[in-house]
């Protein structure tokens, strides 16, 4: 039995196929959907999946790319009104029309930020230029929690250093952040946190004794492999697959916010 579209496919938008969680989800979804005569169709990356959603007319779809603005959120709600059953990992906000895992697209940066602020307010942020530009344009990004904390006067002498997303430039930005003399570093990605850790270690600085570091962003269930906390999602691949199967077969009504939290883990 399917949800009624008749296509027999379930769309999987997985933005990072180099990440073990995305690969695990792809494998488990294929195994769980097969007994129902359903085929997973992959739409990798942050772009192009909306066109495939319209063309494939799937029984259900998982949207892993964060929804960072009202326009995209409204577009997904319109698709839901037209009959699409959607599970959105990181919606712009909760919606009674969409199944969602989290209440926003900040990838646990809020958890990492609060962890640092209760320990030291002399805080710097290592973020990507794209995240900074998205926030400046009025969209929610992983830089938004830090910007809002600064606006609220919660950060003393804030420092922001941007990188282009590459490992090399993360290390360059990490060195610049440490040169500023911050007591704590908020990193909007696991890779940024690893860059700060590696640069600090090369300078003889100990974490957390000499420098506090915490990171948000996609990470495996065991964190980063470095001695600093990383926010990881409590949403399991088992939950995602169970929701998708239910939506695709019509045994689950759409529109539930599963309210999955983020937790800080340290390897």
Is the same domain home to 25 and 91? Answer: yes
Nearest Cα residue to 56 out of 86, 32, 28: 86
Q: Which pLDDT score, from 0 to 100, does residue 1 have? A: 42
Contact 131, 160 (CB under 8 A): no
pLDDT of 29 over the 60 cut = yes
Q: Are residues 98 and 177 in the same domain?
A: no
Residue 4's pLDDT band, with cuts at 50, 70 and 90, is: low
Same domain, 223 and 244: no
Q: Do residues 55 and 167 both lie within one domain?
A: no
Residue 85 lies inside a defined structural domain of this protein: yes
Q: How far apart are the C-alpha atoms of 25 and 14, rounded to whole Å?
A: 9
Distance separating alpha carbons of residues 78 and 158, to the nearest angstrom? 40
Residue 47 pLDDT class (50, 70, 90 cuts): confident
Q: Which residues contact 173 (CB under 8 A, 6 or more apart)?
A: 126, 161, 162, 163, 192, 195
pLDDT mean over 233-245: 92
Tell me: pLDDT of 96 over 50.
Answer: yes
pLDDT band at 18 (very low <50, low <70, confident <90, very high): confident
Question: By mean pLDDT, which of 6-10, 22-26, 220-224, 241-245 is the weakest?
Answer: 220-224
Q: Tell me, what's the pLDDT at 233?
A: 83
Instruction: Label residue 267 by pLDDT band (50, 70, 90).
Output: low
Q: 174 and 195 in contact (C-beta within 8 Å)?
A: yes
Asked if residue 29 is part of any domain, the answer here is yes
Model confidence, pTM: 0.80
Q: Domain with 123 in it: what CATH number?
A: 3.40.50.2300
CA–CA gap between residue 186 and residue 193 (Å, rounded): 8
201 and 245 share a domain?
no
Who's near 63: CB < 8 A, 6+ residues apart? 13, 49, 76, 86, 87, 88, 89
Report whether pLDDT(146) > 60. Answer: yes
pLDDT value, residue 219: 55
Give the mean model confidence (pLDDT) for residues 47-74. 90
State how many domains the chain has: 2
Do 172 and 246 sit in the same domain of this protein?
no
Domain hosting residue 134, numbered range: 109-232
Task: Output the six-digit token pair for 227.
Answer: 């001695």
Distance separating alpha carbons of residues 115 and 221, to the nearest angstrom? 18
Could you tell me if 114 and 227 lie in one domain?
yes
Res. 221: pLDDT tops 50: no
């Amino acid at each position: 039995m399917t949800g009624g579209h008749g296509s027999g496919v379930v769309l999987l938008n997985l933005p990072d196929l180099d990440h073990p969680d995305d690969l695990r989800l792809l494998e488990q979804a294929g195994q769980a959907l097969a007994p129902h005569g359903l085929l997973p169709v992959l739409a990798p990356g942050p772009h192009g999946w909306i066109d495939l959603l319209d063309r494939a007319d799937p029984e259900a779809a998982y949207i892993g790319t964060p929804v960072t603005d009202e326009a995209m959120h409204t577009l997904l709600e319109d698709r839901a009104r037209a009959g699409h059953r959607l599970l959105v990992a990181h919606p712009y906000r909760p919606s009674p029309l969409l199944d969602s895992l989290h209440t926003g697209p900040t990838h646990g940066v809020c958890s990492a930020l609060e962890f640092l602020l209760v320990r030291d307010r002399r805080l710097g942020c290592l973020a990507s230029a794209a995240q900074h530009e998205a926030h400046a344009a009025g969209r929610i990004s992983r830089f938004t929690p830090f910007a809002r904390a600064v606006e609220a006067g919660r950060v003393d002498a804030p420092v922001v250093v941007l990188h282009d997303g590459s490992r090399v430039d993360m290390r360059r930005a990490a060195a610049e952040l440490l040169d500023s003399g911050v007591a704590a570093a908020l990193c909007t990605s696991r890779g940024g946190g690893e860059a700060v850790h590696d640069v600090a270690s090369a300078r003889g600085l100990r974490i957390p004794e000499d420098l506090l570091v915490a990171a948000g962003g996609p990470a495996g269930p065991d964190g980063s492999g470095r001695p600093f906390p990383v926010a990881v999602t409590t949403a399991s691949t088992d939950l995602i697959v169970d929701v998708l199967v239910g939506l695709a077969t019509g045994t689950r009504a759409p529109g539930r916010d599963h309210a999955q939290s983020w937790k800080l883990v340290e390897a």
